[in-house]
Amino acid sequence: MDQVKIDELKAKYGKIYKITINDVEWFYRAMTRNEYKNHSEEQTKQNQLSQLDLEDMVFLVCNLNDIKTKEQLPNIPAGVISTVADLIMKATGFSDVNEPEEL
């Protein structure tokens, strides 16, 4: 991805992130509150999605590598989707919180 595209994505989403896995650069962003809400509602509608389905949904919403359909996912190594989905959730603020400060 070139710098012009990166700057466009930053202007649109704010912070964006990159990780290299098996010599492939993966770009992603954090999930917004509304996206998370829709994601949670989809879970409820589907009545028990598997962990893999949840990872796929997070990955499809927030990856920035022009992968936007479930039909594209079988060509990606399974560990990549799991790793990037986990990093998306961390960027969204769902883990690695600092220890609370006692006052």
The band of 2, judged by pLDDT with boundaries at 50, 70 and 90, is very high
Residue written as tokens 């927030």? 62
Average pLDDT, the chain: 88
CATH architecture of 3-92: 2-Layer Sandwich (3.30)
Domain boundaries, the chain: 3-92
Q: Are β-strands 16-21 and 24-29 bridged in parallel, bridged antiparallel, or unpaired?
A: antiparallel
Instruction: Tell me what pLDDT residue 93 has.
Output: 86
Cβ neighbours of residue 75 closer than 8 Å, sequence gap 6 or more? none
What is the value of pTM for the model shown? 0.83
Is the pLDDT at 56 greater than 80, yes or no?
yes
Mutual angle of helices 78-92 and 51-62, in 10-degree steps: 70
Pairwise CA distance, residues 39 & 51, whole Å: 13
- CB neighbourhood size of 85 (10 A): 23
In tens, the pLDDT along 25-37 reads 999 999 999 988 8
